[in-house]
Amino acid sequence: DAGITQSPRHKVTETGTPVTLRCHQTENHRYMYWYRQDPGHGLRLIHYSYGVKDTDKGEVSDGYSVSRSKTEDFLLTLESATSSQTSVYFCAIIQTGRGGRTEAFFGQGTRLTVV
Amino acid sequence: DQQVKQNSPSLSVQEGRISILNCDYTNSMFDYFLWYKKYPAEGPTFLISISSIKDKNEDGRFTVFLNKSAKHLSLHIVPSQPGDSAVYFCAAPINNDMRFGAGTRLTVKP
């Protein structure tokens, strides 16, 4: 447990509406990530952040934007939700320990349904 | 470009038998691999890992094998238990990111 909480846990929204998902962490991690999980695709990176106001795109960033105004919060926004964005979204931090072991820690996920 | 591949979307085994989950990768730069386990409505959690300098790592009922020449790793669960029923992802970190396979859903039948 790396102190990661996501909100909301579930959301149903209509096509074309904006949606913001929140990831909050309590352990001052520098790097934060948003993934989506879809059957047959596993976990795919949407965007990540390497510091306050420093973000970069992942492999499936189209239709998404992110913001990080504080270390502890990383927001994922769907500007105009589409049905293809129905998915389960996971926030994560990835850290490398003293032994050089890299590990990802995940939030509990947000199930988003776009109708 | 899916650099980590799990070609079996599902696997069903009988309780007490061995479960073998497979993973292939294409990027020779990967030097560390992890397996994650995911239950419904929960985030993935770390299960076991292996460094590329090893070919085997064991932790209780879980053993991961790495064949670098074949770019293949496998997770063995012996004996399998109903509580092992979950989705398993293999993953490899690279450049401050983590690449995941598509996952294999394991069902262990009592």
Taken in order of first residue, the domains within chain B and their CATH numbers are: 4-109 (2.60.40.10)
Is A98 at the interface with chain B, CB within 8 A? no
**Among candidate residues B28, B44, B62, the one with its CA nearest the CA of residue B101:** B44
CA distance B71 to A86: 33
Total count of domains within chain A: 1
Q: Give pLDDT, residue A1.
A: 55
The pLDDT profile of chain A, 115 residues, written as one tens digit per residue, is 568 999 999 999 999 999 999 999 998 888 999 999 998 888 999 999 999 999 999 989 999 999 999 999 999 999 999 999 999 999 999 887 767 678 889 999 999 999 9
Q: Distance from A86 to chain B by nearest Cα, in Å? A: 15
Could you tell me if B75 lies within 8 Å of chain A, comparing CB atoms?
no
Residues of chain A with C-beta less than 8 angstroms from the C-beta of B100: 35, 42-44
Q: Tell me the sheet residues that pair with A32.
A: A49
DSSP state of A83: G
At residue A88's C-alpha, the angle toward residues A84 and A94, to 5°, is 120
DSSP state of A91: E
Query: Would an 8 Å CB–CB cutoff place B96 in contact with chain A?
Result: yes
CB atoms within 10 A of CB B80: 23
CB–CB of A94 and B93 under 8 A?
yes
Q: Which two tokens stand for residue B82?
A: 């109903």
Domain span holding position A101: 4-114
- The CATH number assigned to the domain holding A110 equals 2.60.40.10
Structure tokens at B37: 């386990």
Higher pLDDT, B22 or A27: B22
Q: CB of B59 within 8 A of CB of B77?
A: no
Residue B79: cis peptide before it, omega within 30 degrees of 0: yes
| Per-residue pLDDT, A94 | 85
Within B10-61, strands assigned E span 10-14, 19-25, 32-38, 45-51, 56-59
Cα(A23)–Cα(A91) distance, integer angstroms: 6
